Structure 1
Amino acid sequence: MAKYDYDLFTIGAGSGGVRASRVAASHGAKVAVAEEYRVGGTCVIRGCVPKKLLVYGAHFAEDLKDAKRFGWDVPDRCDFSWATLRDNVFEEVDRINSVYRETLTNHGAEIIDERAEVVGPHEVKLASGKTVTAKYILIATGATPHVPQCPGHELGITSNEAFHLDDVPKRILIAGAGYIANEFAGIFNEFGSTVTLINRTDVILRNYDHQIRDRLLQISMMKGIDFKFHAEFRGIEKTKNGCLSVSMTGHEDVEVDCVMFATGRVPNTGRLGLDKAGVTVDDKGAVVVDDWSKTDVDSIYAIGDVTNRMQLTPIAIREGQAFADTVFNDDPHQVDYENVPAAVFSHPPIAGVGMTESKAKETLGSVKVYTSDFRPMKNVLANRNERGLYKMICDGENGKIVGLHMIGPEAPEILQAAAVAVKAGLTKQAFDDTVALHPSMAEELVLMK
């Protein structure tokens, strides 16, 4: 008889957990996946997928205005239905959720629709009270929004709830300066909200190149988003008229209809029982793992945002793939975290890969920087005074490209291909030798001076 009920028991059916479970099952393992909410995790259910659909919907506000300059008879006022967009987004989320479930079951993995917690190195207890055993346990529970603990914080929402609003808030205050804050600031601004963004410092998107993030700040302010820096919550109160009065340091009180916290995400390890199995978590609650995603308990692994290594969906997927191949297919390999491309789907979007200019100067010393600061052709005809900026950072000794950063229409789509060149270690000369594809925005990549 088998020593364990399962070869692998995965807790959490997000992108990483689904990939690891599917691949392990395809390698012949007996797999179970426990998920207390819906299969797909943050990205599919309440994160990048529905958010990107809102970004598409929001961008029509600018596209409709620009259309007049291209000869289209568009009325000055176009009605927008938040409920229609919201419900259609939910419909797409439902579809993807079903696809994820089918993917797991078609590969032989069992889905258990209830909460699970670890009670030992090989034991998992389900919410129903049943205890099962597994040779390996994989923690893939992701992360959850951080909420600042100020008086009245319960009156605010996070990105989780933003998708379920009854209507677009007339006035919204967003706390934070990372990608979630800037993306939702752009979305609600395009939908007609008066948007105020507050941050504890005066820097947005601190991990991105300073010229790129400064350009986004400039354009966002031009679009009407109000930034209040060096501001921390004192408290939130509900007024007699049903609005929210927000008091903060360094600025006067603000009255809004909605407060949204976008102040980072924390690993989702609460009530998982990891201490019972001897699994170590750090001071932020992240599961501590080695380069193979293994905890200090040989039978327990962890991947994705719950480890707080790099909170990106494609990274969680790669970690899940590497874990399954290593443990269940005798094909040991690790995830390479160098030159990982990332994007912010703001208005306009930004994207980057590799070192920023400041990081390169700090690391390499000798650095050459090339830029292209241009007004996209579409913006010119539309009379939209909004410029794109592409930036290439090279090692001053050998011309190797160590960083590529951009802001402008379709920047993430363009960067994905260019990131291959950075990952491959190509030089600026390789770009110079490539004929421009004209007329396009992407041609600026091979024309930078």
Structure 2
Amino acid sequence: MPSFDAIVIGAGQSGPFLAARMVAKGMKVALIERKFLGGTCVNAGCMPTKTLVASARAAHVARRGADYGVLIPGTIDIDMTVVRKRAQAVTMNARNGLINWFAGMDGMTVIYGHARFEDAHTVRVNGDTLRAPKIFLNVGARPTIPDMQGIGSIDYLTSTSIIHLDQLPRHLAVIGGSYIGLEFAQMYRRFGAEVTVIERGPKLASREDADISDAIADILRSEGIAVHTDADGIGFAKTTDGIEVSIGNGQSPIEASHVLVATGRTPNTGDLGLDKAGVATDRRGYITVDDRLATNVEGIWALGDCNGRGAFTHTSYNDFEIAAANLLDGEDRKLSDRILAYALYIDPPLGRVGMSEKEARATGRKIMISTRPMSRVGRANERAETKGFMKVIADAETQQILGAAILGIEGDEAIHGFIDAMNAKAPYPVLKWAVPIHPTVSELIPTLLGDLKAV
């Protein structure tokens, strides 16, 4: 029975880097991956999808060329085969980089296969049994397919399969109005497809404040995307020419050529034999962890999407940083110290950090709020991209910034001014008196903070 100092199951954005750190410390490590190194981000998430977003934006800008005095004769045509191959090349470069990195690493054993627990310190993979005193789970998540009427009768797409399309849908119906679905909706509309977004809830991007959700819907509708919310009767039926998608709520069905199901993600924890190891999960299948990512079983940790404590590449990587700091560097870092930030990559993007207004109000604090339209931003006007707005929430008594949102051009970058200030625990007047560079998006941040008012 081969023994290791540590076994890492899953090669997403936590496991490989933690494995590499342990090997650098002289440990003998087995990294087990059932499919591809790099996890969702490299193979079916951030890297391929943001490459597709870039292609879609290029088409959008080209169509608007005349607005900038750039005349492009003829129509703007999209070669989806080239688009797909470009995204695939980005993925393969990243995946092969990981393969080559590990191949030259003494002390690292990479095993491709499906690992299952035999007991708390033993796993079986490809018929072999491996033991280690430390086991780290970084098994990620997969698209959730809800039980909707007729779903079994159609060929539907998920966020994993749609990136392999090399044809343009005639009419793409996107089921789910959250981050993944909205990115694909705008992307395929810009490629030239007719697109309809169907959301069960009353708002798109439901975790956001209502003003942000409404602005997102306005942006999508302005590009010709049909948006249906409060869809209480979603169902599907195969037709001669495609798929009939029922919406409910008194609305007429639509005829789609393709359906993308983007209704959330499910952790890949159901087939690991967690019961044999005694590892606890919550009702949704996420592995329960403490503030330092340890499970209820000594010697087993869970990192990344499978622990339900963050659903982003950067939070998964931060899980690695926390585990490595605590286990290898003698530090004491905690999940509860993390200030959550993320982005929605429609165009213009939404950058978000900390609490929403709704969350801040729920704490009972005395809060201050300020908003400014992107039309007040010089760069936005120069680029003729003035959709969206900025918003910041602060604690009226401590003067700490509680949260911020920038829905607008370069909002995913400009939000880092707030992220850095919040992590530094700097009161908002410190940032208010900064002197940012002109002309940038960030230059409006001091003005935004100067307009904070108690509500």
Q: TM class, shorter-chain normalised?
A: over 0.9
> Once the 2 structures are TM-superposed, how far is the Cα of residue 299 of structure 1 from its aligned partner?
2.2
Distance 1:232 1:106 in 2: 54
Residue aligning to 1:69: 67
Which SS does the other structure have where 1:115 is aligned?
A: coil
> Given the superposition, is the C-alpha separation of residues 435 and 76 from structure 1 closer, same or farther in structure 2, using an over 3 Å criterion?
farther
Distance 2:329 2:419 in 1: 30
Give matches, 1:428-439, under 5 Å.
Answer: 428-439=428-439
> Given the superposition, is the C-alpha separation of residues 347 and 372 from structure 1 closer, same or farther in structure 2, using an over 3 Å criterion?
same
Residue 116 in structure 1 maps to residue 118 in structure 2: no
Query: Does the Cα contact within 8 Å between 1:267 and 1:285 map onto a contact in 2?
Result: yes
> Given the superposition, is the C-alpha separation of residues 289 and 431 from structure 1 closer, same or farther in structure 2, using an over 3 Å criterion?
closer
Which SS does the other structure have where 2:97 is aligned?
A: helix
Q: Deviations over 1:217-259 (max 9, x none)?
A: 1121121111111114553222123x01112321222110111
Query: Does the Cα contact within 8 Å between 1:216 and 1:348 map onto a contact in 2?
Result: no
Which SS does the other structure have where 2:298 is aligned?
A: coil
> Given the superposition, is the C-alpha separation of residues 398 and 296 from structure 1 closer, same or farther in structure 2, using an over 3 Å criterion?
closer
Residue aligning to 1:189: 189
Q: Deviations over 1:57-77 (max 9, x none)?
A: 111122113332333222251
Distance 2:436 2:287 in 1: 47
Which SS does the other structure have where 1:434 is aligned?
A: coil
Residue aligning to 1:28: 26
Amino acid aligned to 2:9: I
> Once the 2 structures are TM-superposed, how far is the Cα of residue 328 of structure 1 from its aligned partner?
4.2
Q: Deviations over 1:182-224 (max 9, x none)?
A: 1111111111111111111112222223322221111211211
Which SS does the other structure have where 1:39 is aligned?
A: coil
Question: Is there any run of 5+ residues in structure 2 with no aligned partner, and where?
Answer: none
Residue aligning to 1:213: 213
Residue aligning to 2:58: 60
> Once the 2 structures are TM-superposed, how far is the Cα of residue 439 of structure 1 from its aligned partner?
2.2
Residue 317 in structure 1 maps to residue 317 in structure 2: yes
Distance 2:365 2:228 in 1: 35
Amino acid aligned to 1:119: E
Give matches, 1:139-178, under 5 Å.
Answer: 139-154=137-152, 155-178=155-178
Q: Deviations over 1:85-115 (max 9, x none)?
A: 1111111111100112233344432111111
> Given the superposition, is the C-alpha separation of residues 436 and 135 from structure 1 closer, same or farther in structure 2, using an over 3 Å criterion?
closer
> Given the superposition, is the C-alpha separation of residues 378 and 168 from structure 1 closer, same or farther in structure 2, using an over 3 Å criterion?
farther
Which SS does the other structure have where 2:373 is aligned?
A: strand
Amino acid aligned to 2:303: I
Identity between Structure 1 and Structure 2 (%) = 29
Which SS does the other structure have where 2:135 is aligned?
A: strand
Query: Does the Cα contact within 8 Å between 2:243 and 2:258 map onto a contact in 1?
Result: yes
Query: Does the Cα contact within 8 Å between 2:289 and 2:301 map onto a contact in 1?
Result: yes
Amino acid aligned to 2:199: N
Distance 2:65 2:234 in 1: 44
Distance 1:260 1:294 in 2: 36
Which SS does the other structure have where 2:294 is aligned?
A: coil
Residue aligning to 1:230: 230
Distance 1:274 1:256 in 2: 41
Give matches, 1:408-447, under 5 Å.
Answer: 408-447=408-447
Give matches, 1:207-286, under 5 Å.
Answer: 207-241=207-241, 243-250=242-249, 251-286=251-286
> Given the superposition, is the C-alpha separation of residues 281 and 383 from structure 1 closer, same or farther in structure 2, using an over 3 Å criterion?
closer
> Once the 2 structures are TM-superposed, how far is the Cα of residue 12 of structure 1 from its aligned partner?
0.6
Query: Does the Cα contact within 8 Å between 1:4 and 1:135 map onto a contact in 2?
Result: no
Which SS does the other structure have where 2:133 is aligned?
A: strand
**What do you get for the CA RMSD once the two structures are aligned?**
2.0
> Given the superposition, is the C-alpha separation of residues 337 and 149 from structure 1 closer, same or farther in structure 2, using an over 3 Å criterion?
farther
Which SS does the other structure have where 1:351 is aligned?
A: strand
Amino acid aligned to 1:115: H
Residue aligning to 1:10: 8
Query: Does the Cα contact within 8 Å between 2:289 and 2:302 map onto a contact in 1?
Result: yes
> Given the superposition, is the C-alpha separation of residues 102 and 300 from structure 1 closer, same or farther in structure 2, using an over 3 Å criterion?
same
Query: Does the Cα contact within 8 Å between 2:417 and 2:442 map onto a contact in 1?
Result: no
Distance 1:135 1:85 in 2: 46
Distance 2:420 2:383 in 1: 33
Which SS does the other structure have where 1:301 is aligned?
A: strand
Give matches, 1:370-409, under 5 Å.
Answer: 370-375=370-375, 377=378, 380=381, 386-409=386-409
Amino acid aligned to 1:138: F
Query: Does the Cα contact within 8 Å between 1:392 and 1:403 map onto a contact in 2?
Result: yes
Give matches, 1:34-53, under 5 Å.
Answer: 34-53=32-51
> Which segment drifts farther, 220-229 or 148-157?
148-157
> Given the superposition, is the C-alpha separation of residues 51 and 200 from structure 1 closer, same or farther in structure 2, using an over 3 Å criterion?
same
Residue aligning to 1:369: 369
Distance 2:372 2:379 in 1: 17
Amino acid aligned to 2:119: G
Q: Deviations over 1:128-164 (max 9, x none)?
A: 2111111111111001110011243242111000101
Amino acid aligned to 1:395: D
> Given the superposition, is the C-alpha separation of residues 4 and 36 from structure 1 closer, same or farther in structure 2, using an over 3 Å criterion?
closer
Question: Is there any run of 5+ residues in structure 1 with no aligned partner, and where?
Answer: none
Distance 1:94 1:338 in 2: 31
> Once the 2 structures are TM-superposed, how far is the Cα of residue 4 of structure 1 from its aligned partner?
6.2
> Which segment drifts farther, 39-48 or 176-185?
176-185
> Which segment drifts farther, 366-375 or 189-198?
366-375
Query: Does the Cα contact within 8 Å between 2:293 and 2:335 map onto a contact in 1?
Result: no
Query: Does the Cα contact within 8 Å between 1:27 and 1:329 map onto a contact in 2?
Result: no
Query: Does the Cα contact within 8 Å between 2:380 and 2:409 map onto a contact in 1?
Result: no
Question: How many residue pairs were aligned?
Answer: 444
Distance 2:312 2:32 in 1: 22
The normalised TM-score by structure 2 is: 0.92
Distance 2:123 2:428 in 1: 53
Give matches, 1:322-337, under 5 Å.
Answer: 322-337=322-337
> Once the 2 structures are TM-superposed, how far is the Cα of residue 33 of structure 1 from its aligned partner?
0.7
> Once the 2 structures are TM-superposed, how far is the Cα of residue 382 of structure 1 from its aligned partner?
6.7
Amino acid aligned to 1:244: I
Distance 2:278 2:294 in 1: 13
Query: Does the Cα contact within 8 Å between 2:204 and 2:216 map onto a contact in 1?
Result: no
Q: Deviations over 1:9-45 (max 9, x none)?
A: 1111011111221112122211011111110000110
Q: Identify the structure with bigger relative contact order (alpha carbons < 8 Å, sequence gap 6+).
A: 1
